[in-house]
């Protein structure tokens, strides 16, 4: 009963397909039946006509070659399928054309009745005989008997093939429905089979579905990792603030210790503030797909302004600069690019040795290219593989100066501006960051982002 109810549910894809196929089969069967009937009825009529005319010839031969009476001839010619009788109608009722034809040819066949059964007249002496099909015969019935079995077998085979075809076609849809329910329930590991023999729309739909689940799985992982990282990053400064606050409550604390604890609380508070602001900025950038505002400006002048803006930081480390800044005008988002240069130059200063050298160059070809190179501590291969990850800080001793989101912001901003960034570094030899930007962010997207 449950299977019958499921089969009769009209809103399922499989049942709709079966209904459509069956409707098409019924229409096709009806048309084929009509065409078959027309052809079969013509053939039946021709066969009856041939049989009646052969009987008429037989009657004429008997009347000419024997002395049998008309009733004996009729009795000999009569059979189960044909009825031979003397035409009792008045000859004057017969149309003149038919009477003249009968007089000259001796045998004439006409068609009477709704069923268009043939009737043959044969002239034997002075009498006219009629040869008609048995009353039990019907041209409709005879025609349908001939095509009925073929039509019934056709319908049965077609219904079976339609059921098998609908199941085969609807199977991927059923798989997709179940997989969609799993995704709705939070399972992003579900995969649909991608078959090489299915290059049609269903195959493309399955490939697109698997791509969607991959993206959702990565997004879910990033969200969980992001929440875990935020929890960890917030936990440390909050614990420090709580600890120093409790120390301040201790009796007999001297002024020097009190100031030290207050300074530590202020530093940790600043770190929390920077972390919150950076997270908000990164969250906004994650939702942004294109530059907010584009303007024309000099890239070399922008970098000079950033260096001057960071002067207190690099003065404290006695940094020497080597600048090779060609005049390059670009159309881009000035505010976002400023964040890029601030983060890159701050990192170069932070990881340089005291009295070190930082080199910055700006050049123009078909794109604008900026290089920021320091000769500081450098990075190994494992660090290079993760420097654009959220909250990643390789140098623990210097990690308290940042929150591990600077290069992540840089990468996201350059993605928005259709730019690219590549890094070369070695431990103890410093690092070199190369940034490539389109000259006009309105129309140009970098095609070659290879290092």
Whole-model pTM over 0.95: no
User: CB under 8 Å to 5, separation ≥6 — which residues?
Assistant: none
Q: Which two tokens stand for residue 90?
A: 């008045």
Task: Identify which has the larger pLDDT, 285 or 371.
Answer: 371
Q: Which residue has the tokens 């803006």?
A: 309
Contact, 134 vs 118, CB < 8 A? Answer: no
Alpha helix segments (H runs only) across 294-358: 299-309, 311-316, 334-350
Q: Which residues pair with 131 in a beta bridge?
A: 84, 120
pLDDT, position 397: 44
- Check the CA dihedral 71-72-74-80 and report its sign: positive
pLDDT band at 290 (very low <50, low <70, confident <90, very high): low
Which class for 76: exposed (0-12), middle (13-18), buried (19 or more C-beta within 10 A)? middle
pLDDT value, residue 449: 40
State both tokens at 398: 């210097």
- Would the pLDDT of 195 be above 70? no
> Would you say 182 and 211 are in contact if contact means Cβ atoms under 8 Å apart?
no
Q: Give the whole-angstrom CA distance, residue 444 versus residue 423.
A: 23
Query: What is the number of other CB atoms lying within 10 angstroms of the CB of residue 239?
Result: 11
What percent of the chain is helix, strand and coil (3-state, nearest 5)? 55, 15, 25
Per DSSP (E only), the strands in 16-155 are 82-86, 107-112, 117-124, 127-133
pLDDT score for 303: 92
Q: What is the band of 398 on the pLDDT scale with cuts at 50, 70, 90?
A: very low
């Amino acid at each position: 009963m449950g299977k019958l109810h499921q089969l009769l549910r009209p809103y399922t894809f499989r049942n709709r397909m079966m209904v459509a196929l069956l409707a098409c089969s019924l229409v096709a069967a009806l048309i084929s039946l009509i065409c078959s009937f027309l052809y079969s009825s013509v053939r039946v009529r021709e066969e009856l006509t041939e049989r009646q005319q052969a009987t008429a010839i037989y009657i004429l031969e008997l009347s000419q070659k024997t002395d049998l009476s008309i009733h004996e001839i009729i009795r000999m010619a009569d059979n189960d399928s044909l009825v031979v009788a003397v035409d009792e109608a008045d000859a004057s009722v017969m149309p003149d054309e038919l009477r003249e034809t009968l007089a000259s040819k001796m045998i004439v066949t006409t068609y009477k009745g709704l069923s268009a059964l043939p009737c043959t007249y044969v002239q034997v002496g002075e009498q006219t005989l009629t040869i008609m099909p048995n009353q039990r015969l019907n041209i409709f019935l005879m025609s349908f008997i001939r095509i009925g079995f073929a039509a019934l077998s056709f319908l049965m085979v077609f219904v079976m093939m339609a059921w098998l075809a609908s199941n085969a076609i609807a199977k991927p849809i059923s798989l997709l429905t179940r997989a969609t329910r799993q995704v709705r329930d939070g399972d992003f590991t579900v995969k649909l089979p991608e078959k090489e023999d299915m290059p049609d729309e269903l195959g493309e739909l399955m490939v697109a579905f698997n791509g969607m689940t991959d993206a959702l799985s990565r997004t879910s992982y990033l969200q969980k990792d992001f929440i875990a990282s935020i929890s960890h990053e917030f936990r440390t400064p909050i614990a420090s603030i709580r600890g120093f606050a409790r120390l301040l409550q201790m009796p007999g604390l001297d002024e020097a210790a009190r100031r030290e604890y207050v300074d530590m609380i202020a530093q940790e508070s600043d770190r929390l503030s920077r972390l919150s602001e950076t997270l908000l900025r990164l969250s906004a950038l994650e939702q942004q797909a294109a530059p907010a505002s584009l303007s024309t400006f000099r890239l070399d002048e922008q970098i000079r302004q950033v260096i001057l803006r960071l002067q207190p930081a690099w003065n404290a480390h006695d940094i020497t600069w080597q600048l090779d800044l060609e005049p390059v005008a670009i159309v881009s988002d000035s505010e976002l690019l400023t964040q890029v240069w601030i983060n890159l130059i701050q990192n170069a200063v932070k990881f340089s040795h005291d009295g070190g050298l930082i080199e910055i160059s700006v050049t123009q070809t078909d794109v604008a290219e900026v290089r920021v190179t320091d000769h500081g501590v450098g990075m190994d291969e494992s660090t290079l593989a993760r420097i654009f990850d959220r909250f990643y800080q390789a140098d623990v001793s210097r990690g308290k100066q940042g929150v591990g989101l600077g290069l992540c912001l840089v990468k996201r901003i350059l993605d928005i501006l259709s730019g690219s960034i590549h890094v070369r570094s070695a431990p103890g030899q410093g690092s070199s960051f190369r940034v490539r930007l389109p000259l006009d962010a309105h129309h140009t997207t970098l095609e070659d982002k290879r290092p």
